[in-house]
């Protein structure tokens, strides 16, 4: 076993369950159960109700006074997930929790991180303001669409990396600089893709794309050599799958032997499933930051859990240890 997993185990051995409690919202209960199980504490009891008029009600069913409380909830649509997290934060602070940490496996609205046209909000900043106002002491997320979002708030905000677990899976393909390449589907994913390419010891290529309107992408240029290569396409998320599928088709049109798509967040909205099924992609490797309904599962999809990364981060924060050590 590698070093980070070994250190995680040693952290568990020294953990005193009485000094922390973990609760989950409704967004991804399965991941929350895995995280709590790895940490070694049971999920806390909490009532999450919806009244007939649509209002939400949150109530902790156990004492959390003086505890380090971790609330696991993604902020992806529907918007109730965000509202539920805000109410959980407020309830925890009013119940005299010592600290309250929001564990957000998928930070929704991260793509709205700038004012790209007149009269639009900077939604990524506004959501952080809401959580800060609700009393959050710390936040943890994974593979932010734009890392600079961490600077939108004065609350400590840790951005974890799925590559801690995804990298081992890609190593199993045993590719080299002669027969493998990481293809960045757009400029935004270039830094992540370059990191994978360097660690895997394979080539790097980049697609220059244009977005004529929301959720529509067009390939304009290809930089790099794909002929006779096995290609990894790596991105932070798959939403409608237009970007990934266009990149896969571009790879095959330029002589690629095979294509494997890798993404952290499986948003999989709109026509994503049908596009991925029809695309020239051998396998789609994703994480479980977002819960996927059974009707969206298909043969080419492989899910790798990131529960170990979050559980290790929670233990380190609770014990006052370094989070950055996780990435070494």
The CA radius of gyration of the chain, in Å to the nearest whole number, is 20
What is the C-alpha to C-alpha distance for residues 172 and 168, in angstroms, rounded to an integer? 7
3-class SS of residue 65: coil
Cβ atoms of residues 139 and 131 within 8 Å = yes
- Residue 48 C-beta-side C-alpha neighbours within 13 Å: 20
Instruction: Give the helix ranges, DSSP H, for the chain.
Output: 3-13, 29-39, 80-94, 123-133, 163-171, 190-200, 242-253, 272-278, 307-319
Catalytic residue among 209, 283, 296, 328: 209
Based on the residue annotation, tell me whether 283 is a catalytic residue of this protein. no
Using N-to-C axis directions, what is the helix angle for 123-133 and 80-94, rounded to 10°? 30
Q: Judge residue 315's burial from the number of C-beta atoms within 10 Å of its C-beta, 0-12 exposed, 13-18 middle, 19 or more buried.
A: buried
Cβ atoms of residues 264 and 143 within 8 Å = yes
The count of other CB atoms within 10 Å of the CB of residue 127 is 24
DSSP string computed for 274-307: HHHHHSS-SEEEEESSS---GGG--TTEEEE--H
Q: Which of 156, 152, 86 is nearest to 125 (CA)?
A: 152
- Residue 198 C-beta-side C-alpha neighbours within 13 Å: 7
229-232-233-239 Cα dihedral, nearest 10 degrees: 140
What is the C-alpha to C-alpha distance for residues 328 and 319, in angstroms, rounded to an integer? 19
Q: Judge residue 188's burial from the number of C-beta atoms within 10 Å of its C-beta, 0-12 exposed, 13-18 middle, 19 or more buried.
A: middle
Catalytic residues: 209
């Amino acid at each position: 076993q590698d070093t980070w997993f070994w250190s995680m185990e040693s952290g568990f051995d020294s953990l005193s369950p009485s000094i922390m409690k973990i609760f989950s919202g409704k967004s991804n209960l399965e991941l929350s159960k895995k995280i709590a199980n790895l940490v070694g504490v049971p999920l806390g009891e909490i009532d999450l109700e919806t009244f007939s008029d649509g209002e939400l009600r949150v109530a902790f069913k156990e004492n959390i006074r003086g505890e380090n409380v971790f609330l696991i909830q993604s902020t992806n649509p529907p918007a109730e997930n965000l509202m539920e997290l805000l109410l959980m934060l407020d309830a925890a602070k009013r119940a005299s929790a010592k600290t309250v940490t929001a564990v957000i496996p998928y930070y929704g609205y991260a793509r709205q991180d700038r004012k790209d046209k007149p009269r639009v909000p900077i939604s990524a900043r506004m959501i952080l303001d809401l959580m800060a106002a609700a009393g959050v002491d710390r936040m943890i997320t994974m593979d932010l669409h734009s890392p600079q979002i961490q600077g939108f708030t004065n609350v400590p905000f840790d951005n974890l990396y799925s590559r801690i677990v995804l990298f081992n899976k890609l190593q199993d393909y045993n590719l080299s600089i002669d027969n493998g390449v990481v293809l960045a589907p757009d400029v935004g994913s270039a830094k992540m893709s370059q990191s994978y390419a360097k660690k895997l010891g394979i080539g790097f290529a980049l697609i220059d794309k244009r977005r004529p309107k929301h959720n529509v992408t067009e390939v304009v240029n290809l930089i790099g050599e794909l002929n006779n290569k096995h290609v990894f396409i790596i991105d932070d998320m798959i939403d409608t799958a237009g970007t990934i599928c266009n990149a896969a088709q571009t790879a095959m049109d330029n002589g690629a032997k095979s294509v494997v798509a890798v993404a952290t967040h499986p948003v999989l909205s709109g026509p994503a499933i049908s596009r991925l099924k029809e695309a020239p992609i051998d396998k789609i490797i994703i994480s479980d930051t977002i819960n996927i309904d059974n009707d969206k599962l298909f043969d080419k999809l492989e899910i790798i859990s990131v529960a170990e990364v979050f559980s290790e981060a929670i233990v380190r924060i609770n014990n006052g240890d370094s989070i950055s050590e996780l990435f070494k």
